[in-house]
Amino acid sequence: MRSRIISGSGLVLVGLLATLAALIYPVWSYEDRSGTQLDALTSQSVSTRFGPLSALDRDFITKVRLAGLWELPAGQQAGERGTTRAVHTAGKHLVEGHTFLDARVREVAAALRLELPSQPSAQQRRWLDELSAARGAAYDERFANILRRAHGKVFSLVAEVRATTRNSLVRALADDANTTVLDHIQVLEATGLVDFDGLARDAASADPRPPTRSPAPPGPQDSPPTAPPASATATPSFTFPLPPPVSRPNPRPSTS
């Protein structure tokens, strides 16, 4: 009888200790924990007179510039090689939209004293090479699908930045980027060549975002960099003259 009482008391004690451990562990595990998203936001943000500039903000500014470095010449090329009126229209919107966005992103970068890339990424150069190698109807299809896939990925980034940024300049740039990217998605889809099943498969098979991003672009520099003139923007293997700047892209697909 006595042994059963002792045994029962032991079980109660073990249960109490397990409950106490369960209550203490979350406090212990997070009290001194570094590397959480909140820690990263604080450590990777820099102060500006327009509000804190996060690593995601700087990554977004860089990606807006990179988008223009390859999508603008791709749009110019579509005007020359496209075989349908819809492809020509899509190319025209790409040119107008990225001429406008490129001017905007260089203004924002200068105000925040950030350096911008002057060459497309390796992946973007491969896309341009793939387009350059195509002709006729094959060109139209590749143009519509490569550009539509790229814009879909940028669209989600724009939404995330617009929803979370604490910087007023980045917020305004995200508004302009959202309008422009949505317009480009619409005119690309209007070609009738977009493979929506392929887009869905790509999204379903994509790896989930890693918990940490790649290193963000550097923060503000000591002195504002001089924004390169639009005519000096580097392009890949084929070269097109940049069009004159426009005030703002047409938010609706053109009828011509």
CATH number for 109: 1.20.1260.10
256: in domain: no
- Residue 241: which pLDDT band, with cuts at 50, 70 and 90? very low
Ramachandran sector of residue 192 (left: φ over 0; alpha: ψ -120 to 50; beta: rest): left
Q: Taking 50 as the threshold, does the pLDDT of residue 32 lie above it?
A: no
113: in domain: yes
Closest CA relative to residue 102, chosen from 134, 61, 143, 130? 61
Q: Taking 50 as the threshold, does the pLDDT of residue 95 lie above it?
A: yes
Q: What percent of the chain has pLDDT over 70?
A: 64
More confident residue, 22 or 200: 200
Dist. CA 134–CA 145, nearest whole Å: 13
Q: Residue 238 has what pLDDT?
A: 38
219 close to 53: Cβ distance less than 8 angstroms: yes
Q: Taking 80 as the threshold, does the pLDDT of residue 214 lie above it?
A: no
198: in domain: yes
239: in domain: no
- Range of the structural domain that residue 178 is part of: 41-232
pTM, rounded to two decimals: 0.69
**Co-location of 128 and 227 in the same domain:** yes
Q: Residue 230 has what pLDDT?
A: 41
Sign of the torsion angle spanned by Cα atoms 99, 92, 168, 218: negative
Q: Taking 90 as the threshold, does the pLDDT of residue 98 lie above it?
A: yes
255: in domain: no
The mean pLDDT of the chain is: 79
Place of tokens 């009888």: 1
**Co-location of 59 and 23 in the same domain:** no
What are the tokens at 162? 């617009």
**Co-location of 150 and 221 in the same domain:** yes
**Co-location of 101 and 218 in the same domain:** yes
Q: Taking 70 as the threshold, does the pLDDT of residue 251 lie above it?
A: no
**Co-location of 108 and 189 in the same domain:** yes
37-42 average pLDDT score: 65
119: in domain: yes
91-105, 106-120, 179-193, 232-246 — which is least confidently predicted?
Answer: 232-246
Q: What percent of the chain has pLDDT over 90?
A: 61
Count structural domains, the chain: 2
24-38, 77-91, 96-110, 187-201 — which is least confidently predicted?
Answer: 24-38
**Co-location of 53 and 29 in the same domain:** no
Q: Residue 28 has what pLDDT?
A: 39
pLDDT tens, 132-176? 999 999 999 999 999 999 999 999 999 999 999 999 999 999 999
**Co-location of 108 and 169 in the same domain:** yes
237: in domain: no
Q: Residue 44 has what pLDDT?
A: 85
- Residue 13: which pLDDT band, with cuts at 50, 70 and 90? low
**Co-location of 45 and 28 in the same domain:** no
**Co-location of 48 and 26 in the same domain:** no
**Co-location of 82 and 51 in the same domain:** yes
**Co-location of 132 and 199 in the same domain:** yes
**Co-location of 26 and 134 in the same domain:** no
242: in domain: no
